[in-house]
Each structure stands twice: as C-alpha cells, then as structure tokens.
Chain A
Amino acid sequence: MPETTSPSLLFRLRDPADREAWQRLVALYTPLLGDWLSRYGVQSADADDLVGEVLAAVVREMPGFRYDAAKGAFRGWLRTILVHRLRDFWRSRDHQPRAAGGEFYDHLLDKLEDQRSEISQVWDREHDEHIVCRLLEMVRPEFESTTWEAFRLVMLEGREPARVAGELNLSRNSVYLAKSRVLQRLRQEAEGLTD
C-alpha cells in the first residue's frame, strides 16, 4: 500500500534536493533537540550550534540511512547522532561539568545511547509525542473546521463518537470519516518517523 500513497517525509528526505522536505525536518526537530540538549546542561548558544551539527549530520548521512521499517529506526538513529555529538562537544571543548563528576555524566550518555534504557524510552515517547503534535499542527489547515473538531474530540479528548456527532450536528458516519481522514493524512507524514 505505501507505494500508492504520496511519499512520506522520510522518503522525501532521500532526495537531498527536496528543500521543502528538509525545511520541514528542521522545523520538526529543532525544538525537540534543543530541549534535550538543554536538559543535558548545554547552554543555549552552544545548543543552537549543536542542533545545527546534529541536523547537518542527518543531511550528510541520510543516503546511508536505510529505512528498513525496523521499529523506531529513525528516532533511534537520531538519538545516536545526538549522543555522539554531545560526547564530541564535551570532549573537544572541555565543557564537561565538573561539579557533577565525569563518571556520572558518562553514565548519563551511556544510558541515552542504550536502546533499552529507561532514558531512551523516555526519549522515544517524548519524540513521538512531539512529532505527532507538530505534524497535527502542520496538517490542520488542510481540513474543514468541523472535520478537525470531530477528529480532535474523538481522538484527543477521548469522547464518544456518537455524542460528538450530536454536538457537532454531524452524522455518526461523518465523525468516523473525519477521524479516519485526519489520521490517514497524519500517518502519511509520520510514516517511518514514529514507527
């Protein structure tokens, strides 16, 4: 089926010339990466540089990244790039926070690198939530306001489709359709990023 849907963002990124896709990637990931770097004690000016470096590494290595439908492949790959950049950063610039002790800090990075660690799971969850939210924001203007509202109430607020239909003066059918269409659009964008 994927071959007949329009290409996902990840698919489009294989083409280094697809500027719109790259811009979208930057818009999607800059806040997320910046947030994580600052949690790791990187000052904001340095964090901006590092986000740039991470995204540049993605651009550079994207052709070699094989999207083999392995679960979470992209976000895990990105996490690994982030860890490597952070290690280089601390080492090369002698920025390692003295107070916390190097050992503790190394442990922290090891945990983020370890796919099965709890921190990596937190990264995964935060990543997925962030990406879903941003993508929802991006695709929202493509929908009629009632379509969106039906989707929002059922999927985000967990309301009963029948009640939502009544409130919005739609048939129950239309509520289901609305939900399915938004979901389809979202999935098309998110393909490969969150699963």
Chain B
Amino acid sequence: MQHADENGVLRHLERARLVAYALGRLPATDSAGVESHLAVCEACWHTVEEALPADPLVRVIRSLPPEKRRFAGTPLMLPSVTEQGVQPPAELTSHSRYEVIAFLGAGGMGQVWKARHLLMDRPVAIKVINPTLMQNHATVSRFRREVKAAARLDHANIVRSHDAEQVGRLHFLVMEFVEGVDLARLVRERGPLPVAEACDYARQVALGLQHAAGHGLVHRDIKPQNLMRTPEGQIKILDFGLASFLAGDEEGDVREGLNAVLSTSPDGSVTRLGEGCGTPDYIAPEQIRDARRVDGRADIYSLGCTLYHLLAGHPPFPGGTGFSKVAGHLERTPRPLSDVRRDLPADFLGVLNRMLAKEPGMRFPTPREVADALAPFTSPCGDQPPERRGRGMNRRRWLVGVAATGLGPAGGVAVWRGRKVPSAKEVRRFEGHTAAIQSVALSPDGRFALSGGEDGTMRLWSLEGGEEVRRFVGHGDWIGWVAFLPDGRRAMSASYDRTLRLWDLDTGEVIRRYVGAGDVVICLAISRMGGKCCPAGRTSSSGTSTAVPWCVGWKG
C-alpha cells in the first residue's frame, strides 16, 4: 500500500494495517512504509490511537500499579519529568468542579488525591478507583450502590462519602478530606499506645460501626490503615462500602478468605493481589469461610485485632505467610496480650478476648456493647496496672479540686467522689500548704494527687490515706502548674521563678531543671505519650502577658 498515488495525492492507509502497526503486530519490514506515511498524516494517527485501548497487552501495561511500573524503568533524569512526581489522571485534572492539590497515597483500590471542590470551596479527598476493578457493568452498578448506601451515613467517626462520579473510563469516590494520620502509621511511629488511648480509639470506631449498623451496613475491612486520627484525637473510619463492593460478586463465587491467603507476600507486605479483600491480619474466621454471610460481628472481630495491634504494636498473628495468618484466625489463639505488656487492667483482657472470639455468637452482639465495655478503660484512671490498684478504688471516679475559698492564706485540697459534680460529696481534705494552692493534678492510676502552691512547694498526697506522701522543695517562687507524667512516677512543675522542673516522685529529687526563654512560666501541658512538654509563660515584664509556648523533650 502506497501512501501517495502516482499523482502524488495522499491516500490514507487501510485501517487494519494501521491497527496492526499500532499494536506492534506489523512485521518490521512492513512498518517502515506505515511510519513514513504517519510522519505526514495526522488523521491516520488518530486511527492508530483508537486501536490501543482494546488491546489486552496494552491494557496490562496501562493498568500496572505504580510500584510495579518501577521495574519497567525508572524515570530518566530529565528535570521536567522527575519533578512531576505522581501525575493525576487527565480525567481528574480536567474536571470542572475539582482542582487537584496533592497526592495523598495509593492503595490496592487506587490512588487518593486531595482536591478542592471549586464551588463549595472545601477540600475533599478523591479516590480514583483502579480501572481493573471496574471491568463490567455489574461491577460498576454494585460500586454505585455501595457508595450510595455509605453516603447515607452521617457520623462523627465515619469519613463522609460525598459522591461517586464517572469521568470517561475512571470512577471516583469523593469523600470528606480528613487531616490526620492513620492508626497503622501512628503505631509504626510511636510504638504501642497507652491502654486508655487505644481503648478510646477503639471505642470511637465501635460508635461509628453502631451508627452504620443502624443503616444495615457492615464495613468488612476494619484495620488500622482504615482508621484516621485527626489532630483533635477523633477517629474516622475510612472506606465504608468499598470492601462490600469488592466482596459482592454476581457469580456468588467469592471467597474473601482464599484471596486473603494470597494477599500477603512472605515479607509480610501486602501485594496488590489482595486489593479489596479482607486483610488477613484482621479478618474474622467466618469471613474466611464465607465472606458473603458475614454480619457486623465480623467488624467486631476485626476491631479486636486492631485494638490488639494498637496495644502490642503488631497484629495478633504477625509474621508468616497469609496462609499461616488465616490458619491463625481460624484455629489459634493469639499470643496473650498480657505477655506483651504488663500494664493492662485485669478486666480489660476479658473485653478484648470477647471481641476476638472465634465464634461470632460468643462476641459482643453489637458495636454499642463493645463501646460500653471499652468505656471504663478510656480514661487514664482506667490505665492503672492491676497490682498498683488499691482495693476498693477501682471503678470509682475521683475528682480533685482546690477549695480556694474559706481556707484563708493556707491552701487545702479536697477530694470528691462521684459521677456528677453537683452531687459529689467531699470525702477527704488535705491540708498542709502554707499559702494558696494554684494547681492540682491526679495521678494516672487515680491513687495520688499533686498540688502546687504559692508557698513554692509541690506536695504529693495519698487519696486513700489522706496523708502527705512527699514534699518537693526547690522552686523559688509560686508554683503555677503541676502535672503527672504518663508513667505516674514523675511530675512536672512550672513556676514563677522562670523554671520548669521534672521531679522523681519516688525520691523527691529534681531530675532536670529547664529554664525558659522569657519571664514566668505559667502553665504547661504534657503529651500523653510522655517525652514532650509544652510550657507557656509571659515574656515581658511590662505587665502585658504574652503567652509563649515552648517545647521541652526528654527521653524515657
């Protein structure tokens, strides 16, 4: 076939030949002629382009996940290319309602982008569903159905789904944008969480699940990676409806468990194989056996595995292949959490074990009951190690306050007990400070109180006996703020003498002394994990008080 006839008039090539060329199916000897024609004919290029998407090999190449594309060649060091990073799909960049701001991450289901909704002027997260998951009409309609169901959910602990959209070949899920970190990353960075913190997070998840249960929805893929923590400490469940969408199958032949077996590489990293399948680290036994028949109790099991992970720093069946993890969920008891850490309240293990029961009927019947069962452990008072807990002290709520009025120049601390302040009754009074008390704090185990006063002393009181256990002397001026460290064995005080002191409560000695940049140190806050403290004070002596927070860190 000539590209120009004897009169020099351009003639388009046969379609079949162009398609063969486009797909790389034309013998090299024949390709040269096509190429020279294409060099001058734009129209034929379009034919070439149109032929590509239908080709299986091209489809494989186009849908390669980013981590696999690396094997096919890293970018050359062309600045214009390497600076680009991950590119949003054209369907998204050209979208009239959204402006892409940043790449947030990629998972088995697809890439997630942060974008701005231009009309509403609010940030959203857009999940671009991997096109390989949307292979036929039935899948697409199931996707829409699940997203629609999830969009009805309206709860503080669930990431809101706004919309499901289709642009060209791509399907997007538009969601509320949540600032924060997922719990898997949190544990990776910080290690196992304190009991109260972990229980608080798990309880919030249970509340979200309860709301979903009211709408007849089961999540099916509760895991630390799907739980976001906002800077305010609120937990938001991600991806409601997505696991269900992937689990449903028109042939009724889905076995999530089988896929779960295949989803983990020997090194423990989850491969793309397992996308959308229950993650084998958190999957319920009945979900392994028959994913279609699970109910909300599978989520309770997965939440139990998640809570285990938060407290142990690893899932219940760490290491090994997906196969051994699945075998673990089906038939083995995980290593007792009490072997991993020793600060678990005695009653707590019963709650966790009930969440992790192999038999759904042995678990809590609803997420609401999980939330209720976890509630007592969510405050630091519930964090007390069993051996340190005083008899008769458990389960009581303690309240310490400064009775400022009527005490004259000398300070006193009163302790009330009870669930509600108005009906609280004074049970004990601590007297000893020679001047007014500025600050009090309650120890993490609820057995002791600290007080700091204008007499420059800090005092440790036993709530049970009422006696002054120890006096801490050293500050040269009023103590404005006292606080326990999370370990309950050290404390921090902030004083008008411009210093901050870290005390050993057992010995009464100063461990460290911190001198602030400014004037007096008025108050401080300690991170719940320990290791960090933020005091604030006044800088100028002219009387205008400018709060200047600074940060103090220590090890251990």
Interchain nearest-CB distance for A170 vs B (Å): 12
Interchain nearest-CB distance for B316 vs A (Å): 14
Contact with B81, one of A111, A167, A180, A190 (Cβ below 8 angstroms): A167
Contact A183 B78 (CB under 8 A): no
Contact with B323, one of A41, A111, A186 (Cβ below 8 angstroms): A41
Q: A137: which B residues are within 8 A, CB to CB? A: 71-73
- How far does the alpha carbon of A179 sit from the alpha carbon of B75 in the complex, in Å? 16
Contact B71 A134 (CB under 8 A): yes
Contact A136 B57 (CB under 8 A): no
Contact B35 A177 (CB under 8 A): yes
- How far does the alpha carbon of A35 sit from the alpha carbon of B48 in the complex, in Å? 37
For A, the interface residue count at a CB cutoff of 8 angstroms equals 63
Number of A-B contacts (CB under 8 A): 174
Q: B261: which A residues are within 8 A, CB to CB? A: 39-40, 108
- How far does the alpha carbon of A2 sit from the alpha carbon of B273 in the complex, in Å? 33
Contact with A152, one of B28, B75, B328 (Cβ below 8 angstroms): B75
Contact with B27, one of A4, A108, A132 (Cβ below 8 angstroms): A4
Nearest B residue to A39 by beta-carbon distance?
B262
The B interface is mostly helix, strand or loop, or mixed, namely helix
Q: Report if B230 contacts A (CB, 8 A).
A: no
Q: Report if B45 contacts A (CB, 8 A).
A: yes
- How far does the alpha carbon of A178 sit from the alpha carbon of B64 in the complex, in Å? 19
- How far does the alpha carbon of A125 sit from the alpha carbon of B263 in the complex, in Å? 13
Q: A185: which B residues are within 8 A, CB to CB? A: 24
Q: Report if A107 contacts B (CB, 8 A).
A: yes
- How far does the alpha carbon of A149 sit from the alpha carbon of B39 in the complex, in Å? 20
Q: Report if A38 contacts B (CB, 8 A).
A: yes
Nearest B residue to A157 by beta-carbon distance?
B87
* Given known A-B contacts A100-B323, A167-B80, A133 and B331 have beta carbons under 8 A apart: no
Contact B61 A1 (CB under 8 A): no
Nearest A residue to B257 by beta-carbon distance?
A104
Q: Report if B226 contacts A (CB, 8 A).
A: no
* Given known A-B contacts A41-B324, A117-B253, A126-B273, A101 and B330 have beta carbons under 8 A apart: yes
Q: Report if B264 contacts A (CB, 8 A).
A: yes
Q: Report if B62 contacts A (CB, 8 A).
A: yes
Q: Which of A126-175 touch B at CB < 8 Å?
A: 126, 128-129, 132-134, 136-137, 140, 145, 148-149, 152-153, 155-161, 167-168, 172-173
Taking A39-B322, A133-B69 as known contacts, 10 extra A-B pairs with beta carbons closer than 8 A to each other, sorted by chain A number, are A1-B25, A108-B258, A119-B259, A122-B273, A133-B72, A149-B81, A158-B87, A176-B49, A180-B22, A194-B56
List, sorted by A's number, 9 A–B pairs whose CB atoms are closer than 8 Å.
A97-B327, A100-B326, A108-B258, A156-B69, A182-B24, A183-B22, A184-B28, A190-B57, A195-B57
